């Protein structure tokens, strides 16, 4: 019940009118357009004064929100939206004028700038996890003070694969729900929570099938389109709309694979297949477009789209959600993440790996050297690209293209023997 959201929505509308969207890519699948409408509608609902809105960090399970009829708003997604409209630099300047260091992740700095400019919808509560983003809990505490709202931080155990860790985290989630009940003024309905878990399981099954179909050669889906499903995966688990999107994407990919098999039954696919680590620059599609369309390479899979957790038990929801959190590859010792990456290489017949090292993301960058050494022992070429997903001010298009082209040429020479 936040009447000031009307003003905040008007501030967002005025800002967006000044932006420009110059994407060159065209989504090939109806599911991608449906996904965009889902995210747009969710954003609009967050500005309604009667909506219950919770700010959440990227790996926090959204099922709890849907079970409470609350909107799970992943505020970093606003940063991607503004970068897409070439407006993120403006918000980054605002945050830096308020003493936010450039060493901080630009997703978080851009979010801070929007909060300062009164663009974000006032939340009813905030929830984040202690891992794997160090900066997020600090930003959420700052936002909680600004909006005078409660902030909950779930402590993610380092030793992720023990029953003690599951019980410890499940207890935190259950206790947090009790506090949320007081804030929103109604009890959690166990049947609604169970139904939300079932919907999440259903969407998971369809997306697992999507990822399975993407193992086909040639690849049935461009990585430039697939990587943008990361936003939907960040905060729509537990919704019926997400089930519909995942089902439609599976059906469309299934038909694409059938078509490819009929067309290419006697042809050999010679395209280099890449694994992409982390996200992409959201202020343009130039780099991804260059890789897939100019270099003729397939981004066969993106780590961000990995479904890492098992089917959840609707009748043991809190432990199930705890297991989902703990199963995330970056949680715990680096061998957890390393094993997942090696599996992607095997499953998707990867020829080389590109790691987009987003400035300010310590979790990604800190283990890159270990991963590179491990892959080199297996003869897998590895390219690090230092860049920024949100901040375009230091973006060097030609430099990145030169490095990528040389990397692709090296892989091509290796494949020729």
Q: pLDDT, tens digit, for every residue of 319-347?
A: 999 999 999 999 988 999 999 999 999 99
pLDDT at 417 exceeding the cut of 80: no
Lowest mean pLDDT among 18-27, 92-101, 124-133, 380-389: 18-27
pLDDT at position 25 is 53
pLDDT at position 405 is 96
Please state, in angstroms and rounded to a whole number, the distance separating the CA atoms of residues 197 and 151: 24
pLDDT at position 145 is 98
SS3 66: helix
Q: Give one DSSP letter per residue of 333-355, joined into a string.
A: SHHHHHHHHHHHHHHTT-SEEEE
pLDDT at position 267 is 58
pLDDT at position 1 is 54
Question: Which position has the token pair 């420009």?
Answer: 20
Q: pLDDT, tens digit, for every residue of 42-58?
A: 999 999 999 999 999 98
> Which of 318, 301, 278 shows the shortest CA–CA distance to 352?
301
Radius of gyration for the alpha carbons in the chain, expressed in angstroms and rounded: 21
Q: Give one DSSP letter per residue of 221-279, joined into a string.
A: S-HHHHTTHHHHHHH-TT-HHHHHHHHHHHHHHHHHHHHHHHHSTT------EEEEES-
Q: pLDDT, tens digit, for every residue of 241-279?
A: 999 999 999 999 999 999 998 876 545 677 999 999 999
pLDDT at position 250 is 98
Query: Percent of the chain at pLDDT above 90?
Result: 83
Confidence of residue 211 (pLDDT cuts 50, 70, 90): very high
Q: What is the mean pLDDT of the chain?
A: 93
> Which of 125, 120, 121, 108 shows the shortest CA–CA distance to 64?
125
pLDDT at 371 exceeding the cut of 70: yes
Question: Which position has the token pair 């003024």?
Answer: 185
In eight-state DSSP terms, residue 121 is: P
63 contacts: CB under 8 Å, gap ≥ 6? 193, 196, 197, 200, 237, 238, 317, 321
Confidence of residue 397 (pLDDT cuts 50, 70, 90): confident
CB 60 within 8 A of CB 128: yes
pLDDT at 310 exceeding the cut of 80: yes
Task: Read off the pTM.
Answer: 0.95
């Amino acid at each position: 019940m936040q009447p000031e959201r009307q003003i905040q929505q008007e501030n967002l509308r005025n800002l967006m009118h000044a932006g420009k969207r110059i994407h060159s890519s065209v989504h090939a699948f109806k599911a991608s357009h449906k996904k965009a409408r889902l995210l747009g509608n969710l954003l609009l609902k967050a500005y309604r004064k009667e909506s219950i809105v919770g700010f959440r960090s990227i790996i926090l399970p959204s099922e709890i929100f849907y079970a409470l009829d609350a909107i799970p708003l992943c505020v970093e997604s606003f940063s991607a939206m503004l970068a897409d409209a070439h407006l993120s630099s403006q918000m980054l300047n605002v945050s830096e004028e308020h003493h936010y260091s450039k060493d901080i992740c630009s997703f978080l700095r851009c979010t801070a700038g929007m909060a300062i400019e009164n663009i974000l919808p006032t939340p009813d509560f905030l929830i984040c996890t202690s891992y794997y983003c160090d900066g997020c809990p600090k930003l959420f505490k700052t936002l909680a003070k600004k909006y005078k709202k409660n902030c909950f931080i779930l402590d993610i155990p380092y030793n992720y694969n023990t029953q003690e860790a599951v019980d410890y985290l499940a207890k935190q989630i259950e206790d947090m729900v009790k506090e949320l009940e007081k804030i929103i003024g109604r009890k959690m309905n166990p049947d609604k929570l169970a139904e939300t878990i079932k919907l999440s399981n259903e969407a998971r099954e369809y997306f697992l099938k999507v990822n399975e179909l993407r193992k086909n050669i040639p690849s049935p889906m461009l990585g430039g389109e697939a990587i943008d499903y990361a936003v939907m995966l960040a905060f729509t688990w537990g919704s019926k709309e997400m089930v519909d999107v995942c089902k439609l994407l599976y059906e469309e990919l299934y038909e694409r694979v059938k078509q490819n098999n009929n067309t290419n039954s006697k042809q050999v696919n010679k395209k280099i297949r890449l694994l992409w680590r982390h996200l992409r620059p959201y202020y343009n599609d130039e780099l991804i477009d260059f890789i897939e369309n100019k270099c003729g390479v397939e981004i066969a899979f993106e780590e961000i789209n990995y479904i890492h957790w098992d089917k959840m038990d609707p009748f043991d929801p809190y432990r199930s959600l705890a297991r989902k959190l703990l199963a995330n590859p970056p949680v715990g010792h680096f061998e957890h993440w390393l094993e997942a990456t090696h599996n992607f290489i095997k499953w998707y017949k990867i020829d080389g790996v590109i790691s987009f090292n987003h400035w300010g993301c310590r979790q990604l960058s800190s283990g890159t050297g270990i991963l590179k050494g491990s892959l080199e022992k297996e003869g897998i070429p590895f390219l690090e690209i230092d860049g920024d997903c949100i901040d375009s001010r230091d973006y060097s298009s030609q430099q990145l293209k030169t490095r990528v082209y040389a990397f692709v040429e090296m892989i091509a020479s290796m494949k020729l023997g």
